[in-house]
Copies of this chain bind each other. A is one copy, B any other.
């Protein structure tokens, strides 16, 4: 069943730990790495020497602000930007973008395109995706900075192996094996990730203090998404990307949801639901798919100006989210929550009813203590999450194994 630890695993893991420490801390000295990993100085010295010889890390003696301390100054090691490149691509409603990122995490080039995703054929959507990646990787020096990984974030559901987009609201076509398609095209490993999961990943890199072992990111947009980190690990479903918070049931057999079922949280708190309620449209009618962020912004302004119907629509949305979080908290205990996406701009209208609902649930015993953070613009987070996802893959799955490559030469992707 569970597999024993072999002798060579040990080195691999400790190399991975060193790389992770450098990526986290930026420019740590060997001594600092030894402290954070609890490995001995000798071991760190040996591993660091190997990694530098392989071109993964590089010494950077920028003297810094120059520590005015007594003894031999620490010499900082950092990630060698030229060790690799990765592509972080994001496919969302009517928009497709890709970024080429170097190994240290710096964006080298970026491509963004508007396209009518809902109207595109399956083939056209795939072709556009390939094209935008091709555009961003074109013309770089393939010898010195090999492309080692592509991560594509999508709105919607992926399979557990992160290889196939099972379903997405941005296109009528499902079961698109982006992973295999891009892999065939570019010859390197590719994963397809849920956008909310990438948001969670990014939040942790941005603010590891607040978003540490357990937290939740809720994306309020046309639909409702969620990314969760529990026990320090991204929590996904057992067979899919999971975390379909928006489709937990708020009111059994209640309002009609975009997914065709009834009573989902999204059917009360998604943009279209808020619009439907604010305009007094029946709960069981289908609403056009093109309620824009601007429409919601206008509704929020109306609500703030005293429009009763609009105010009530946001109240209903807040309550739905609150009861949903309360049910979730009953299972996993309360955790910090980030409200991400355009909906965060109406958080002032939502927060009260939401906290009120949470307080009426089992998870709400300390509802006053649950802290919410808002990040209105989700796209940078999604890009960052993809970037870190791809880079840590390279760190752990390629460079941690190391060994085979000559000095300065990255491993062929086939080893990944």
Which residues in A have some Cβ–Cβ distance to B below 8 Å?
1-7, 10, 13-14, 17, 20-21, 24, 36-39, 43, 213-214, 230-231, 237-240, 242-245, 247-253, 259, 261-264, 319, 323, 326-328, 330-335, 357, 360-362
Contact = CB atoms under 8 A, between A and B. Distances in A.
B249 A323 contact: yes
A68 to B, nearest CB: 28
Contacts of A361: 247, 249, 261
Given A252-B323, A252-B357, A360-B253, A242 B332 contact: yes
A326 B230 contact: no
A24 B2 CA distance: 11
A244 B39 contact: no
A214 B230 CA distance: 16
A247 B330 contact: yes
Contacts of A330: 244-245, 247-249
The oligomer's copy count stands at 2
Given A238-B213, A253-B360, A1 B36 contact: yes
A208 to B, nearest CB: 9
B5 A237 contact: no
Given A5-B13, A37-B4, A362 B244 contact: yes
Nearest to A214: B238
27 contacts: A1-B21, A1-B24, A1-B36, A4-B14, A4-B17, A4-B37, A5-B10, A7-B10, A10-B10, A237-B331, A238-B332, A238-B333, A238-B335, A244-B331, A244-B362, A247-B362, A248-B327, A248-B330, A249-B323, A249-B361, A250-B252, A252-B319, A252-B323, A252-B357, A261-B360, A261-B361, A263-B360
Nearest 4 CB-CB pairings of A with B: A247-B362, A237-B333, A4-B39, A248-B327
A272 to B, nearest CB: 17
A37 to B, nearest CB: 4
Nearest to A36: B1
A13 B21 CA distance: 24
B37 A17 contact: no
A238 to B, nearest CB: 4
A179 B104 CA distance: 48
Nearest to A335: B238
A18 to B, nearest CB: 8
